[in-house]
């Protein structure tokens, strides 16, 4: 699921780049910075997905931290911005990923390493 999330973020970065190039943003520098930030998040998440697949201990921390940030984003989208069609799927994804990282099997896999 983390790899799928990384691919989705990479797709968002491509869409943002396309929108930056084809439209006239207020600030091209800020728009490009946003593309770079989303691209870096996708790369970090992809590296963490690879680390989780290889059962590396360092990979769980960044994934959990990003899921907590995404939970705040999903809550804000769903309830404060009144966009439940965007926020609720993010919250469900966050819940599923945190649950899967907290299962006894997942924790035991890291203890044996």
**Mean pLDDT per 10-residue section of the chain, whose length is 113 residues:** 91 93 88 92 93 89 90 93 91 93 84 68
In this structure, the number of other CB atoms found within 10 A of the CB of residue 100 comes to: 14
| Nearest partner of 97 among 38, 47, 49, judged by Cα | 49
pLDDT the model gives residue 112: 67
Model's pTM, two decimal places?
Answer: 0.79
């Amino acid at each position: 699921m983390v790899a799928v999330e990384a691919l989705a973020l990479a797709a968002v970065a491509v869409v943002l780049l396309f929108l930056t190039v084809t439209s006239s943003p207020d600030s091209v520098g800020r728009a490009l910075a946003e593309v770079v930030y989303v691209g870096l998040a996708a790369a970090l998440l992809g590296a963490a997905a690879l680390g989780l697949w290889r059962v590396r201990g360092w990979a769980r921390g960044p994934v959990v931290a990003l899921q907590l940030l995404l939970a705040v984003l999903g809550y804000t989208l769903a309830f404060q911005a009144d966009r439940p069609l965007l926020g609720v799927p993010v919250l469900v994804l966050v819940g599923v990923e945190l649950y899967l990282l907290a299962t006894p099997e997942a924790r035991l896999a890291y203890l044996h390493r």
